[in-house]
A and B are shown apart, each in its own frame.
Chain A
Amino acid sequence: QKEVEQDPGPLSVPEGAIVSLNCTYSNSAFQYFMWYRQYSRKGPELLMYTYSSGNKEDGRFTAQVDKSSKYISLFIRDSQPSDSATYLCAMRPYTGGGNKLTFGTGTQLKVEL
């Protein structure tokens, strides 16, 4: 079993929909949780990060962490065609392991007009 599980999709939604992307993990040492966005034929770019549990909002994006359930989510409100990309969750412990991140396999999202 992988340390981080993520549904690969693809997920197709109409423009303006609310999108929910999720990851589960098994390592209770993970403390930093990140979402990367990867456009086609590009490298991943950091979208948001949270430390420990709770919510974080940035514009149309909200990241949630539930450490008790080992479950993290990314919500996208008022989705736009420009949000079409692959979204990868990533996580790491507070200390140890250098700057090594453990990634999910990514969820492919398509927002259609």
Chain B
Amino acid sequence: DAGVIQSPRHEVTEMGQEVTLRCKPISGHDYLFWYRQTMMRGLELLIYFNNNVPIDDSGMPEDRFSAKMPNASFSTLKIQPSEPRDSAVYFCASSPTGLAGGYEQYFGPGTRLTVT
């Protein structure tokens, strides 16, 4: 398997523009996670899905952020409108259900977002 695939790898946009980040999880994994990483706050969980259903979106910072998972092989994270403080690296990760609910998450390479 190719691992978790994210696109784009880099995104530079102007404040106020819509940004869409994309993720293809590892085939067969039924959990999908979106994280944001900054130097100040570290790795923050934004939202996660189980079997394409959003389970916990308590980490989504505000209504400008939305995430969807229309099928088992694709998810999007959208920011509209974007702001400079959204600049960060956004990771997608997927995980299978293991014997005790699993413990390993497989991360994609991340999308480095810069909002000017």
Interface residues of A (CB under 8 A from B): 32, 34, 41-46, 49, 88, 92, 94-95, 98-101, 103-106
The contact string, 1 if C-beta is below 8 Å from chain A, for chain B 8-43, is 000000000000000000000001010000000111
The secondary-structure label for the interface of chain A is loop
B109 touches A99 (CB 8 A): no
Total contacts A-B at CB 8 Å: 63
A98 touches B42 (CB 8 A): no
Q: A98-B56, A98-B101, A100-B45 are in contact. Are A44 and B31 (CB under 8 A)?
A: no
- Complex CA distance for A92 and B48, rounded to whole angstroms: 15
Q: A98-B56, A99-B31 are in contact. Are A43 and B93 (CB under 8 A)?
A: yes
Complex interface residues of chain B between 58 and 114 (CB less than 8 A to chain A):
91, 93, 95, 97, 100-105, 107-110, 112
What range describes how many residues of B lie at the interface?
Answer: 20 to 34
B91 touches A43 (CB 8 A): yes
B108 touches A43 (CB 8 A): yes
- Complex CA distance for A73 and B103, rounded to whole angstroms: 18
Instruction: Report the nearest A residue to B97, measured CB to CB.
Output: A99
- Complex CA distance for A82 and B45, rounded to whole angstroms: 28
Q: Pick the contact of B103 from A34, A41, A104 — CB < 8 Å?
A: A34
Minimal beta-carbon separation of B101 from chain A (angstroms): 6
Instruction: Report the nearest A residue to B109, measured CB to CB.
Output: A43
Q: Give chain A residues whose Cβ lies under 8 Å from the Cβ of B4.
A: 43
- Complex CA distance for A83 and B31, rounded to whole angstroms: 29
Q: A92-B103, A98-B31, A98-B56 are in contact. Are A43 and B45 (CB under 8 A)?
A: no
Q: Pick the contact of B104 from A42, A49, A95, A106 — CB < 8 Å?
A: A49
Can you name 22 A-B pairs with beta carbons within 8 Å? A34-B103, A41-B110, A42-B110, A43-B93, A43-B107, A44-B91, A49-B104, A92-B101, A92-B103, A95-B101, A98-B48, A99-B48, A99-B97, A99-B101, A100-B33, A100-B56, A103-B42, A103-B45, A104-B42, A105-B41, A105-B42, A105-B43
A99 touches B43 (CB 8 A): no
